[in-house]
A and B are shown apart, each in its own frame.
Chain A
Amino acid sequence: MLSIDNLHAGCEGKTILQGINLDVKPGEVHAIMGPNGSGKSTLSTVVAGHEDYEVSQGTILFEGEDIADLSADERAHKGIFLSFQYPVEIPGVTVTNFIKTAINQNRKAKGLEDMPANVMLKKIREKAALLEIDSRFLSRSLNEGFSGGEKKRNEIFQMAMLEPKLAILDETDSGLDIDALRIVANGVNKLKGKDNAIVVITHYQRLLEYIVPDFVHVLHEGKIVKSGTKELALELEEKGYDWIKQGA
């Protein structure tokens, strides 16, 4: 589904990713771990298509297609979703209106009519329940004054609504207490299927107890220095990132 080959990328003239290779197949859950500044967030931002980031070498294929020249919204239309580490506040746009607009813009890109209001409403209710989101929450301005946990739940709610093929969850566990973590992880697990893939980017092993990865990759100085199965995450937790840094 996602095939990254020898990816070099960065912004403002600085190359941050120094040759990433990653292959994600439908139905798989990948975890990307690594110390601060290793390039985890850059990787997710580049895949999502931020125009300030430049790919200097290598390719990103999504379902066999080179997506380098596609804008972020076009990538979203293809089924790529990024859950932000720091979701942006948008005063004046309610959660409901935002997701309605997003859904209908995605449909428009596929040549479909707007989703009928009653279908939309039903879907919103269903997905909100999955994330244990109160209906009052839906009429608040997007992310404005939300707690850390509310913001992350709202990200996964949007993921549930948009049903992406590839979801990249960037530090979704940061700022979450244990209850919120469980709700968010539950939500993600319910959205997992044989046709979609999830890439979890995290600093800690904690989230991986709830969202169990098939593969774990360790990122250091813009490169994947180690790959393995979920046991690698436990080993990392035990030995710390210094172990990787020394090895590299």
Chain B
Amino acid sequence: MDLKETLLSSYLAFDAQDGPQHKLQDQRAAAIDVFEQQGFPTKKEEDWKYTSLRNLIKTNFSVFPKEEVNLKLDEVKEYILQDVDTYKIVFVDGIYNAYLSETTHEGVDVCLLSAALTKPKYADTIKKYFNQIAEKDASLTALNTAFTKEGAYIHVPEGKLVEKPVQIIHFTTDKNPNLLLQPRNLIVVGKNAEIQIVERHQSLTTNETFTNVVTEIFTEQNAQLDYYKIQNDQTTASLIDSTYISQRKHSHARVHTFSFGGKLTRNNLNFYHKDPEINSTMKGITLIEGSQFVDHHSLVHHAQPNSESHQDYKGIFAEKSTGVFNGKIIVEKEAQKTNAFQQNNNILMDDKASINTKPQLEIFADDVKCSHGCTIGQLDEDALFYMQTRGIPTKEARGLLTYAFANNILQSVKIDSVKKRINKLIAEKLGVNIGFDV
């Protein structure tokens, strides 16, 4: 039985189980049909031209964890931001872990999607937002919808500035080998509200793991959202992240994605503008080696006038690693005075590293400013010699130059603890102690 067959039969078992998924029966049934018809994406599809899932789906992943696993804080401490007070929603092998978590209902709901699906007081919100912005005809998003049961649920009411960032963390362990996790997150940031969120998927095993996560985010009028994705996983862990952000007037959504490792990582990051005067920012650093693979597919859909989008992705690819960047910007006819900026700069450290980068602009309005640029290069040899003559050895010089190439992305990171963490990860990845502040 191939993975698709396994999933289709698992769906029947999942549907027969008792659980919060029953509230979504119709939506799930429609979604599994989409997946059944389309199957896993193949390289024949334009959006998956450079990204092959063939190897990944050879593993017969299971959607059902066999046992509930408890982790000690000491075992996972390094993956959780400690030096800042945060709310935490932690899952282990897909199951909520109350011991490692800190949720709240005081002034803001930071809790579980399973709770939101079953408790009557959340019914209106679920009805209004759930599965409203996620693509219905994208097979992997549909697959996630079909298996929706658990994930993070965050609802920031109107006017609330949430001071503590929220960490959403998923661990996978060796107790449940070859797990396919399909978390589903729903985040609503109300009018004039603000929140910062950090998301991380971390495998604690060298077994193959596969996460197919879908996050729907709604930023209401004048809402502010900062979202940080830290992707630094095992070389046996694959992640397909589909994030959909629906924005209302004067809202600003900023997403930073730090892709530092994993077997296969695909980020589908989509912004949809529902009003005029909206601001969307997406930034990222990709820093990988070995035979790792990271793909960023972004979409900004400018549908109304006077909006802005800023996109800046830096990629550093060592050894045989491969990157993909596809930045799609659609400017509808109504979206006059749009200002869309896109930049993708890459460094290939070794001969066998590669990057496929493609801006994709579809502009139907005539009074817009759209700029895009991409570069692919190597480290500057003259700069390396210059640094050596100052006593900085080649390895450190390369590290410093690489860091310098990427570090402007960190300037817009608002949580110091995240900034420090990313700095540390970069230094570790480059194998140097560059030891200076941002």
Contacts and interface: CB of A to CB of B under 8 A. Distances in A.
B386 A105 contact: no
A37 B392 CA distance: 29
B436 A88 contact: no
B59 to A, nearest CB: 40
B404 A93 contact: yes
Interface stretch (B20-28, B269-277, B394-402): B394-402
B382 interface: yes
Contacts of B437: 97
B380 interface: yes
Given A73-B394, A93-B400, A101-B434, A88 B386 contact: yes
Interface string B335-374: 0000000000000000000000000000000000000000
Contacts of A71: 388, 393-394
Nearest to A107: B391
B404 A90 contact: yes
A131 B396 CA distance: 28
B17 interface: no
B389 A101 contact: no
Given A88-B382, A88-B386, A114-B435, A73 B392 contact: yes
Nearest to B401: A90
Contacts of A81: 389-390
Contacts of B405: 92
A77 interface: yes
A151 B384 CA distance: 17
B385 interface: yes
Interface in A24-50: 48-50
Interface string A77-100: 100011010011111110001101
B391 A73 contact: yes
Interface residues of A, number: 32
A109 interface: yes
A67 interface: no
Contacts of A158: 390
Contacts of A89: 383
Interface string A92-132: 11000110111011100100001000000000000000000
A125 B401 CA distance: 25
Contacts of A75: 389
Contact of B391 (A88, A90, A92, A105): A105
B391 A49 contact: no
Contacts, number: 82
Contacts of B436: 97, 100-101
Contacts of B394: 71, 73
Contacts of B397: 73
A90 B389 contact: no
B212 interface: no
A76 interface: yes
B391 A162 contact: yes
Interface in B145-165: none
Contact of A72 (B389, B396, B435): B389
B392 to A, nearest CB: 5
A202 to B, nearest CB: 19
A114 B405 CA distance: 25
B408 interface: yes
B236 interface: no
Given A101-B400, A104-B435, A88 B392 contact: no
B268 interface: no
A100 to B, nearest CB: 6
Contacts of B383: 88-90
A49 B405 CA distance: 26
A84 B386 CA distance: 8
B403 interface: yes
Contacts of B404: 90-93
Nearest to A80: B389
Nearest to A99: B390
18 contacts: A71-B388, A73-B392, A73-B394, A76-B388, A87-B386, A90-B401, A92-B403, A92-B404, A92-B408, A93-B400, A93-B404, A97-B437, A98-B400, A101-B400, A101-B435, A105-B390, A105-B391, A106-B391
- Of all A-B residue pairs in the complex, the 3 with the closest CB atoms, nearest first, are A92-B404, A76-B391, A72-B388
Interface of B: 380, 382-383, 385-394, 396-397, 400-401, 403-408, 434-437
Given A106-B391, A109-B393, 7 more contacts: A71-B394, A82-B389, A98-B400, A101-B435, A101-B436, A105-B390, A105-B391
Interface of A: 48-51, 71-73, 75-77, 81-82, 84, 87-93, 97-98, 100-102, 104-106, 109, 114, 158, 162
